[in-house]
Structure formats: structure tokens, C-alpha cells
Amino acid sequence: MDEWLSIGDVARRTGLSVSAIRFYADEGIVAPAGYTGAGYRCYDARGVAALELVRTLRDLGAGLEEIRRLLADEITVRDLAAAHLALVERQMGQLRTRRAVLRAVVRQDSEAGQVSLVHRLASMSDDDREQLVEEFWTEVTDGLDVREFVDYLRPWRPRLPEDPTGEQLDAWIELADMVRDAGFRRAVRQYFGETFADAADHGRDDPSTEAEVAEQVEILAQARAASEAGVPVDSREARQLATRWVALAGSRCGERDLTEVRRQVVAADPEPQVARHVALLGRYHSLTATINGTPQPVVRAPASTWLHAAVAALT
């Protein structure tokens, strides 16, 4: 026969209090193996193991009825664990959202009326988040011929994962607040309007203009790929693209002297525009990378800077 232990010995082995062991016995969860002549409860090894399991399950949040069913072989440990895992994950998601909201409130030193707004931003559905970002890009590019540029930025749209980290939620709240800001929208729209003014001013019904725009998009795409691949600006491929770029610039401005066009292109240093882009949209790109869990981007205009250097290298 197995050794029987007193309730005090069981308490020391399991870490449960004597009153807790009595409670589980009275509730029919783990009955004692027997009683002493004086009427004290005693437990065998099976009972001690059951009580240790009960303690673990209670620490994990299981209810008495669930534990009773498990010990009665009505449910499996896997079923119980799966149910509580789902519950814990939901609770963790809620806690992460609350933490992100509280961090945002502290960071922004928000007024009482702003707390609800921050909470709504953190609790948005996937569709609501997508709509907010789409509305931002639609407003800042409406009426401007910037389709190629916006399509280039599309992979950088924020996509909050199903189980975001606290850092990702923090980044989303900041970005959502940024793209909602009317002043930020006006600044971005003005930047696009000035940057792409030439393309916006051309007549959309002119077939030659459509061909020129298509040519521009193609050259920029090839230049971007060459830049990212580390193609030297004085290579044969670079010279071909630079020559096409100068010819296109001459065609669009009506200048036949390509030497003069090249001089004008070289004189038009893109770096100030790149710096302005970084100052205005650098934080947007950085937050988006955090939300998406991707490397922080190098916010620059690789196509324009690479092409500028390639044109300057022409002899």
C-alpha cells in the first residue's frame, strides 16, 4: 500500500495551504485517500500529484468546473490548455492596446478629451486602418499626376499584424494621429504639388504627353533598380539611361540642343528635394517600417539622385 501523508505534509509538498486542500476535498475536486483513526485526512501519491496539477491549473486561470471535468476524464489537458491559451492571448492583446494608449497619452501629454480618440486609434479594425491610410493618400495626391510615385510607396503602407507588439501599436497610434492631422496633409499635398507640378500641368489628352509620362516612368523604374543594385553611374547601362533621360527632358521642354539640356539637368541638383522629402515623410516611413516589422528604410530618392549622377558622368 502507498504511503499516506498527513494534510500538513501534503501542504508542504504541493505549496497549497491546508485550508485550500480541505476546500478542494469538500468541493469533490481531490478527495483524500483515507482518514486516520482520529478522523484526519490523509493523501497518497496519486492525491498529491492531483493536487499539484490543480495548483498549476489554478495558477493558469482554470476554473473549478474545468478542473473537475479534466480529472474526471471528460476533457483533455490539450483541450483545456487550448481554451485558456486563446483566453490569455486575447487578454494580452487587450493589455498591449491599453499599454499603447497609456504610453501615447503620457508621450503627448493628452487632455482628457483626447484619451478616447487615442483609444479609438489603437482599437481600429484592419479595414478602418486601411481606410484611414487610403484617405490620406487620396487627399494628398488628388488631381496630381503622381501615380507612379504613390505606387512605389504602396509596399510601405502600414499593415499592423494580428498579434502586434507594444512597439508596433505605439507606432500605429503615432502614425494614425499624424495622417489625420490636417496640417500634415496640407504640407504633404503642397510638397507633391510642387514636386510634380510639371507632370500635372501637361495636357492629359495629348498623346505625346502620355508617351512621355510612360517613358519617364520606365526610365525612373530602371534607374531605381540600377541604383539599388549598385550599378556604377559611369557604366554602359548608366550612360544609356542618362542619355534617354536627357533626350526626354529636351523633348518635354522643346530644347533641341541636348548639350544645353544636359547642363540644365546637371545644374538641377535633386539633393534639396530629397532632403525635403526626408524631413516631411521620413517619420511616416520609419513608423510604417516599425508597424510592418521590416528594416528601417533609407528615405531618399535613389532614382533621381542616381540619374543625376549618371547624367553628370556623361562625356
pLDDT of residue 110: 62
**Is the pLDDT score of 1 beyond 60?**
no
**Is the pLDDT score of 148 beyond 80?**
no
Check if the beta carbon of residue 260 is closer than 8 Å to that of residue 278.
Answer: no
**Is the pLDDT score of 304 beyond 50?**
yes
Rounded Cα distance between 138 and 51, Å, is 62
Rounded Cα distance between 133 and 25, Å, is 58
**Is the pLDDT score of 202 beyond 50?**
no
**Is the pLDDT score of 203 beyond 60?**
no
Q: How many other C-beta atoms are found inside a 10 Å radius of the C-beta of residue 276?
A: 13
Q: What angle do CA 298, 187, 146 make, to 5 degrees?
A: 65
pLDDT of residue 205: 45
pLDDT of residue 253: 74
Rounded Cα distance between 49 and 16, Å, is 12
DSSP conformational letter for 34: E
**Is the pLDDT score of 12 beyond 90?**
yes
DSSP conformational letter for 38: T
Name which of 58, 24, 54 is nearest 41 in CA terms: 24
Check if the beta carbon of residue 29 is closer than 8 Å to that of residue 71.
Answer: yes
CB under 8 Å, gap of 24 or more: what pairs does 125-129 form? 126/160, 129/158, 129/160, 129/172, 129/176
Tell me the pTM.
0.52
Phi, psi for 43 (deg, rounded to 5): -130, 145
Rounded Cα distance between 169 and 122, Å, is 7
**Is the pLDDT score of 307 beyond 50?**
yes
**What's the average model confidence in pLDDT over 215-229?**
83
Rounded Cα distance between 147 and 135, Å, is 15
Rounded Cα distance between 25 and 311, Å, is 87
pLDDT of residue 7: 92
pLDDT of residue 154: 65
pLDDT of residue 157: 82
**Is the pLDDT score of 247 beyond 70?**
yes
**Is the pLDDT score of 99 beyond 80?**
no
Which residues are within 8 A (CB) of 221 and not within 5 positions of it... i.e. 6 or more apart?
148, 303
pLDDT of residue 25: 92
**What's the average model confidence in pLDDT over 109-126?**
72
**Is the pLDDT score of 178 beyond 80?**
yes
Rounded Cα distance between 91 and 30, Å, is 30
Question: Which has more confidence, 240 or 261?
Answer: 240
pLDDT tens figures, 64-76: 888 888 888 888 8
pLDDT of residue 298: 57
Which residues are within 8 A (CB) of 289 and not within 5 positions of it... i.e. 6 or more apart?
156, 295, 296, 297
Write down the mean pLDDT value for the chain: 81
Q: How confident is the model at residue 182 (pLDDT cuts 50, 70, 90)?
A: very high
pLDDT of residue 108: 63
Q: How confident is the model at residue 267 (pLDDT cuts 50, 70, 90)?
A: confident
The length of the chain is 315
**Is the pLDDT score of 58 beyond 80?**
yes
pLDDT of residue 113: 60
CA distances from 233 to 123, 238, 240 (A): 48, 5, 10
Q: How confident is the model at residue 2 (pLDDT cuts 50, 70, 90)?
A: low
Check if the beta carbon of residue 154 is closer than 8 Å to that of residue 84.
Answer: no
Tell how strand 5-6 and strand 34-35 pair up: unpaired
Question: Which has more confidence, 197 or 192?
Answer: 192
Counting residues of the chain whose pLDDT is more than 70, the rounded percentage is: 83
Q: How many CA atoms lie within 13 A of 271 on its CB side?
A: 4
Question: Which has more confidence, 286 or 155?
Answer: 286
Alpha helices by DSSP H, listed for 231-294, are 236-253, 258-267, 271-292
The one-letter code for the residue type at 313 is A
pLDDT of residue 78: 84
